[in-house]
A and B are shown apart, each in its own frame.
Chain A
Amino acid sequence: MTGSPDRPEAHTLRGATDRAALLRIHDIVETMEPLATAELDDYLNPSVLELTLEDGLCEAKTARIDVQWTTQGEYKFHYTDDQGVDFRWGKHPHGGDYIHVPRLEHYHPPPDASSEPDEVEASCITQAPPDLVIRAVLKLWRVAYHTNSYEPLNAGQNPP
């Protein structure tokens, strides 16, 4: 799914899954986004926090965002919906494979969350704390939802 098959270690999140951070993100989602419900895949030994969205973007009727977060502050927020559209914000080493991405934060664009080295974009989300990253994800999703477009997801702005 991600990265070059010959060097899988170069595209892996570093550190163990951070259960505490996933619980924090869970609480923020439940408080801030009425269209989303959040649930750990395993309460005691979670690897993913699943955000179920009551509505999808554009033509989609249902959608999900899978959240991974590690003790090194690296993450993946992967969106998938009933129309087969996927995209993902990520933060992890990529060994310089993503030629347009100078930092760790990057964006795999829709419709298939492409991992082609020249299609992966630098992410508009650059702040580090889980409190801010989940707020950014929810806000970008909201703007895309209201504009019926995937464009705002990594534009990082909502112009008049």
Chain B
Amino acid sequence: MSDQEQPEEFADINEAVGAQWEAETTPYERIRRVIAHTYEPVSTDAVAEDARTAPKTARKHLKALVDEGFVETVPGEHGGTQYRRSSESLVVEQAADILEHVSTDELVTRIQEMREQLSEYQSEFGVDSPEELAVEQANQALAASESTQQTIDPETIRDWKTLRRNLAFATAALSIGNAEQFVDDDHRSADDTVPV
């Protein structure tokens, strides 16, 4: 155990961890890490700053990441290009992680449970989505008097959004798992019947 190790001196925690990160990674790796968790479109300069690279370097690697399908572009307000993590690559990545760690049986059971939980939110609040609930609440707040106003815990809204997002990943994992199975079976039966 390295717990005898004394941490080195540093004058600023942000600079200390930033410099360490820079020493251990390439600019491409840092840009990939930064954009991996950036779901709202951002400019090249913003990515460059977070990734501790020059804007020119960020632009080059972001373009490569667009070609890989890891990143998608969005037209910026002032004609510039903005970037964000591609939803498709995120879904595929999360599905692959789930397939690696969770058995198909467990996945089927949990998806069923999560669907039931989602229905419970919908029937409890009488709306289909957390976004509708937020609109509904705002309308009620405007219309109703203080005494009748019912406030819903904002954490419940976040839990609902989270559940919906993670159910989507789990469902994608199950679909990909099933698809792989069928494609494999298909190859096998083809091998059996095609004479060489």
Stretch at the interface among A58-66, A96-104, A114-122, A131-139: A131-139
B36 touches A13 (CB 8 A): no
Is A83 interfacial (CB 8 A cutoff)? Answer: no
Stretch at the interface among B53-61, B75-83, B157-165, B178-186: B157-165
Main secondary structure of the interface of B (DSSP, over half): helix
| B94: chain A residues within 8 A (beta carbon) | 19-20
A44 touches B6 (CB 8 A): no
Least Cβ distance of A50 to chain B in Å?
A: 16
In whole angstroms, what is the CA distance A15 to B155 when docked? 10
Tell me how many residues of B have a C-beta within 8 Å of chain A: 52
B37 touches A129 (CB 8 A): yes
Q: Contacts A19-B94, A125-B14: A45 and B162 contacting too (C-beta < 8 A)?
A: yes
A45 touches B163 (CB 8 A): yes
| B93: chain A residues within 8 A (beta carbon) | 20
Is A148 interfacial (CB 8 A cutoff)? Answer: no
> Which residue of B37, B158, B161 is within 8 Å of A21 (Cβ)?
B37
In whole angstroms, what is the CA distance A70 to B30 when docked? 20
Is A124 interfacial (CB 8 A cutoff)? Answer: yes
Is B67 interfacial (CB 8 A cutoff)? Answer: no
Is A156 interfacial (CB 8 A cutoff)? Answer: yes
Least Cβ distance of B107 to chain A in Å?
A: 8
Query: Among B30, B153, B162, B170, which residue has the most Cβ atoms of chain A within 10 A?
Result: B162
In whole angstroms, what is the CA distance A136 to B18 when docked? 9
B7 touches A139 (CB 8 A): yes
Q: Contacts A9-B154, A24-B37: A127 and B14 contacting too (C-beta < 8 A)?
A: yes
A contact residues vs B (CB 8 Å cutoff): 8-9, 12-13, 15-21, 23-24, 34-35, 43-47, 55, 70-73, 124-132, 135-136, 139-140, 142-143, 145-146, 156-160
B contact residues vs A (CB 8 Å cutoff): 1-3, 6-14, 16-18, 20-21, 30, 33-34, 36-40, 50-51, 90, 93-94, 97-98, 101-102, 107, 110, 114, 151, 153-155, 158-159, 161-167, 169-170
Q: What are the nearest 3 A-B pairs in CB distance?
A: A16-B161, A135-B17, A12-B154
